Amino acid sequence: MTEQIDYYLEDYLRMDRLPHIWCAGCGLGIILKSYVQALYELEYDLDKIVTVSGIGCAGRASGYVNTDAFHTTHGRALPFATGISTSNTDIKPVVISGDGDLFAIGGNHLIHAARRNINMLVICSNNFNYGMTGAQYGPTTPRDMRTPTSPYGNIENPFNLVSLVSSAGATMVSRWTVFHVNQLKNSIKKGLTKNGFSFIEVLSPCTTGYGRLNKMSPIDMMRDLRDTCKIRKVHPTEATIEPGKEVIIGDFVDIEKPTYADVLDQLTRRSTE
């Protein structure tokens, strides 16, 4: 007998597609939940949102939201969203994608979208690896981590995402975790209403990939986020993530600047004068 699913966010989700594909305890479900809860609490007009994602486990998020949604190619969610945002300024693109998608293959687009101050919200699931392809190391993997493609330990230095995005010119930059779920949701609400390029890094357990490699259960990983992350106000360059050390979370940037659509409109005035 199939259970009658009666869920209070059913208008916000594609209920016919649940259960989703993510593993037990994967943080992506919590990120998606925070996003739809934020839309629900804001009573946001769902016809004015396009949820865009790249490829990866995180990239599947766009397929579960009851908004217009586009699952694009690996790394390119931001230029797609730029095309949307500049074509129809009534629409807020919300990009949900992974650390690999946004900072490895798509890193160039990210800094340029931030530099242009395209009006969009980017929610980056940082699970410290390429989850979908089997937990290989990526641009956020800490030094010395053993992964299937770094069997002797990772020899590369990870990016500090909030520092990178801040210096590229984003108008809102925050870092939360899926354990800090109410702060995360409030941050998403802020990003949804902000006019400008907003970026939220969400530390999120990849339970089957990163978790297994580290011999941690999903609950261990969540406890770890609870115990090592501290909300503090620091300069983004200081908010590095290193194993065994305190991880700083919170809001790093919140400024106002004209958006790309604003300056395009100014350009039209200038060119016809």
Partner 1 sequence: MFPLPKNKVKIIKSLCKGCGYCIEFCPKNVFERSTELNEKGVTLPEIVRGDECISCGLCVMLCPDFAITMEENPDE
Partner 2 sequence: MSETIPTGKHFVHGDWACAEGAIAAGCGYFAAYPITPATEISEHIASRFPQLGRRFVQFEDEIGAIASVIGASFSGMKAMTATSGPGISLMLENIGLAVMTEVPCVIVNVMRGGPSTGQPTMGAQADVMQCRWGAHGDVEIIALAPQSVQECFDLTVHAFNLSEEYRTPVFLLSDANIGHMFEKLEIPAADEIEIVNRKKPQVFPPDYKPYEADESMVPPMACFGEGYRFYSTGLTHNEMGYPDMSVETQDKLVRRLCDKIRRNKKKINMTEETMTEDCDVLVVTYGVTARSAASAVQMARREGIKAGLLRLITLWPFPDWKIEELADNVKGVVVPEMNYGQLVREVERSVKPTPVEFIPKLGENPPSPDEILERIRRLAK
Ligand X SMILES: Cc1ncc(C[n+]2csc(CCOP(=O)(O)OP(=O)(O)O)c2C)c(N)n1
* Element spanning 53, H or E: strand 49-53
CA–CA distance, 89 with 45 (Å, rounded to integer):
14
Does position 97 interact with ligand SF4 (CB under 6 A)? The reply is no
Site for ligand SF4 in 172-231 (CB under 6 A): 206-209
Binding mask 2-31 for partner 2 (x = CB under 8 A): ------------x--x--------------
Stretch binding ligand X (CB under 6 A), from 81-89, 122-130, 173-181, 245-253: 122-130
CA–CA distance, 76 with 110 (Å, rounded to integer):
9
CA–CA distance, 268 with 273 (Å, rounded to integer):
9
Site for partner 1 in 18-57 (CB under 8 A): 18-20, 22-30, 33-34, 37, 41
Stretch binding partner 2 (CB under 8 A), from 108-116, 123-131, 181-189, 203-211: 108-116
Query: How would you classify the pairing of strands 229-231 and 120-126?
Result: unpaired
Rank residues 47 and 256 by Cβ distance to partner 2 and give the closer one: 47
Residues paired with 117 in a beta bridge: none
Which of the choices partner 1, ligand SF4, partner 2, none does residue 6 contact, using the CB cut-off of 5 to 8 A by kind? partner 1
End-to-end CA distance of the chain: 69
Q: Which of 228, 227, 234 is nearest to 160 (CA)?
A: 234
CA–CA distance, 5 with 72 (Å, rounded to integer):
30
The token duo for 178 is 């899926």
Residue numbers of the site for partner 2 (CB under 8 A)? 14, 17, 46-48, 50, 52, 62-63, 66-73, 76, 78-84, 86-88, 90-91, 108-109, 112, 264, 267-268, 270-272
Residue numbers of the site for ligand X (CB under 6 A)? 55-58, 74, 98-101, 125, 127, 129-133, 138
